Chains A and B, each alone.
Chain A
Amino acid sequence: MTDKPINNRAWLLVAPVLAFVLFSALLPMMTVVNYSVQDTMGANNFFWNGDGWFRAVLDPSTESGQRFADALFRNLSFSFVALLIEVPLGVAIALCLPRRGWVVGLCLVIMALPMLIPWNVVGTIWQIFARADIGLFGATLTGLGLHYNDTQDPVSAWCTIVVIDVWHWTPLVILLSYAGLRAISDAYYQAAKIDGASRWAVFVNIELPKLRKVLVLAILLRFMQTFMIYTEPFVVTGGGPGSATTFLSIDLVKIALGQVDLGAAAAMSLIYNLITITLCWIFYTIMTQLDRRRDA
């Protein structure tokens, strides 16, 4: 890693990417910053508001602060539960996959299928599937005598979103784990066999340490996606009932496009973005540390 030559002309190779990303990230971001420090009386009359919006959003005793704190808590608990199910499940299924043969190819293609469906169609699929009258999932749960209604009952709604996310994204964890498992050389397994190691010992001492890197990646990607979830709950529950499934992105769009409360929405966007970046920076640092340890 460290023996890479220093070459500042490499900037020329990076320049096109920089131009594209500056255009589509920095330019729009400046608009958001601009809105976040101004207030409006309508009719395009803007005046300076300094850090007013930021203080309101960050202070849970105000109305918008309370709302932000609630959405943040909902979103964090959703991300936590989703990851708690998806990561172990994904690893378990990856361990069940055969190591070679045409079956693997077929399984992987099938598993990637949910990830290739447009997100609002994923919503539609589950909107139908979860209905008690015409959907298999809803009908089965109702048939089992459960009080299930994903548009009326907050608990059902919340659980449905988790189930959708697990259905939609566990394959990502499976594919990552499978790639990690395949990279383990057969020599390790043979050594374990000679030592008479149990299946569990093989998993804990060989597979899990080798999987650490891909798992950090999986957690990072899944955290990012669950933290930014928008389309699926928007289609299935619309953020309701009440605000049971109003996650951060949904709330943001409600404030910005629904109430046209641009200042508050912009301040919230920036804080939201900053939280995401900070959390991901922590993951990223852990990841690069692991890289370095491997290279050393």
Chain B
Amino acid sequence: MRRGVVPKILLAIYLVALLLPIYWLINMSLRTNEDIMSGLTFWPRHPSFEKYSAIFNDPTWVHAFAVSLAYVVINTVISVTVALPAAYAFNRYRFVGDKHLFFWLLTNLMAPASVYAMPFFNLYYALGLFDSVWAVALAHCLFNVPLAVWILEGFIGGVPREIDETAAIDGYSFPRFFVRIFLPLIANGVGVTAFFCFMFSWVEQLLATTLTATEALPFAAVMTRSYSASGMDWSLLAAAGVLTMIPGAIVIWFVRNHIAKGFALGRV
């Protein structure tokens, strides 16, 4: 394929535009509030990690970070585990109502979280789960379980059916076949699915804040609260914002080679 200089320049411009707002946040987080208000500068003149250490030394922030990670991990484990057999069923068999069921699952991806905020509050309050990591983890299953089924179904479709048949002839029982032979074959797909569940649970905030009050308040919600309480502490807000990007950046590193295929839901 012929390649000129123009695509490279366009790509570079795009990447700069993409990174500028993030850079600006990092820039802010390294400056003091007085410095921020005194005028625009492109570099932090006296970089200080004061706000970061303030966050690390405040139990509220640390607790909230742990809480966020906890419900995200619980949700990811649940979503992937229950979605695996279902995705297999959808890909390999026809059964009564399969197409309707699949579409109904997808409709839950299209359900605005704002519709569910109030009923979820009632439901989890009645169950005594309100303000716990379990409430958020279960609520996020609303969209993560269907999403996991969708992505895994695409990846499972890439595994030839002959493998299932050979294993059956070799006398493997279904559970043993599934765990010993099939799972290793779709390991990439499982990784990518886990990444997506992690991502969508990590970024969702409307349900997470509606279902929690003090004990299980997510990190990003503590951010919103802290600035409305104490005026605008831009620097602290920016530092907290930078910290929320770290888990995502770490997870994405693990799936970097499969990410494009993953975003196409395993369907290319």
Question: Which A residues lie at the B interface, using CB under 8 A?
Answer: 4-11, 13-14, 16-18, 20-21, 23-25, 27-29, 31-32, 92-93, 95-99, 105, 107-121, 124-126, 128-129, 133-137, 139, 167, 171-172, 175-176, 178-180, 182-183, 189, 199, 213-214, 217, 224, 227-228, 230-231, 235, 248-250, 252-253, 256-257, 262, 265, 269, 272-273, 276-277, 280-281, 284
Give CA–CA (A114, B117) in the complex, Å.
25
Contact partners of B166 in chain A: CB under 8 A? none
Q: Told that A126-B21, A129-B20 touch, could you supply 10 new A-B pairs with CB distance under 8 A?
A: A6-B94, A7-B94, A17-B86, A20-B78, A21-B146, A108-B260, A110-B19, A175-B260, A227-B112, A272-B112
On B, residues with C-beta under 8 Å from A are 1-3, 7-8, 10-11, 14-15, 17-22, 24-25, 28, 36-37, 40, 78, 81-83, 85-86, 88-90, 92-96, 98, 101, 103, 105-120, 122-123, 138-139, 141-142, 145-146, 149, 199, 202-206, 218-221, 223-224, 234, 237-238, 241, 244-245, 247-249, 251-253, 256-257, 259-261, 263-265, 267-268
In the bound complex, what is the Cα–Cα distance between A32 and B116 (angstroms)? 8
The answer to whether B11 touches A97 (Cβ under 8 A) is yes
On whether the beta carbons of B21 and A129 are closer than 8 Å, the reply is yes
A25–B142 CB distance below 8 A: yes
A18 to B102, CA, bound (A): 10
Most buried by B among A92, A113, A171: A113
- 12 examples of A-B residue contacts, CB within 8 angstroms: A4-B93, A5-B93, A10-B95, A14-B86, A16-B86, A28-B119, A28-B123, A99-B1, A109-B252, A118-B220, A139-B40, A284-B103
Contact of B241 among A109, A112, A125, A280 (CB under 8 A): A125
Expressed in whole angstroms, the minimum distance between the Cβ of A252 and any Cβ of chain B is: 5
Q: Are B109 and A269 in contact (CB under 8 A)?
A: no
Instruction: Please determine whether A121 and B223 come into contact, CB atoms closer than 8 angstroms.
Output: yes
Instruction: Give bound CA distance, A6 to B98, whole Å.
Output: 10
* Least distance between A176 CB and chain B CB atoms (Å): 5
Q: Which of A28, A31, A99, A105 contacts B256 (CB 8 A)?
A: A105
A17-B149, A21-B142 known; A107-B24 Cβ under 8 A: no
Contact B83 A230 (CB under 8 A): no
- In the complex, the answer to whether B203 meets A265 with C-beta atoms within 8 Å is no
Chain B residues within an 8 Å CB radius of A252: 112, 114-115
Alpha-carbon separation in the docked complex, A173 to B101 (Å): 27
Interface SS of chain A:
helix
Q: Which A residues are CB-close (under 8 A) to B22?
A: 113-114, 125
Q: List the B side residues contacting A120 at CB < 8 Å.
A: 205, 220-221, 223-224
CA–CA, A214 to B98, complex, Å? 23
Q: Which residues of A contact B206 (CB under 8 A)?
A: 230-231, 253
Do B199 and A115 touch (CB < 8 A)? Answer: yes
| Bound form: Cα–Cα A135–B234 in Å | 11
**A-B pairs with lowest CB-CB distance, top 9:** A116-B248, A28-B119, A96-B7, A13-B89, A10-B89, A179-B264, A13-B85, A179-B260, A175-B263
* Contact present for A172 and B263 (CB under 8 Å): yes
Contacts of B241 in A (CB 8 A): 117, 121, 124-125
Collect the chain A residues with CB atoms within 8 Å of residue B90's CB.
14
Shortest Cβ gap from B226 to chain A (Å): 11
Give min CB distance, B217 to chain A, whole Å: 13
Set of chain B residues within 8 Å of A13, measured between Cβ atoms: 85-86, 88-89
Judge whether A4 and B107 touch: CB under 8 Å: no
A120 to B222, CA, bound (A): 11
CB neighbours (8 Å) of A116 from chain B are: 199, 202-203, 245, 247-249, 251-252
Chain A residues positioned under 8 Å from B149 (CB to CB): 17
Output the nearest chain A residue to B114 by Cβ-Cβ distance. Answer: A249
Contacts of A21 in B (CB 8 A): 105, 108, 141-142, 145-146
* Least CB distance, A170 to chain B, in whole angstroms: 8
Residues of B within 8 A of A114 (CB): 18, 22
Across-interface contacts of B234 in A (CB, < 8 A)? 128, 134
| Residues of B close to A256: CB separation below 8 A | 114, 117-118
With CB as the reference atom, state the residue of chain B lying closest to A117: B245
CA distance A9 to B89 in the complex (A): 9
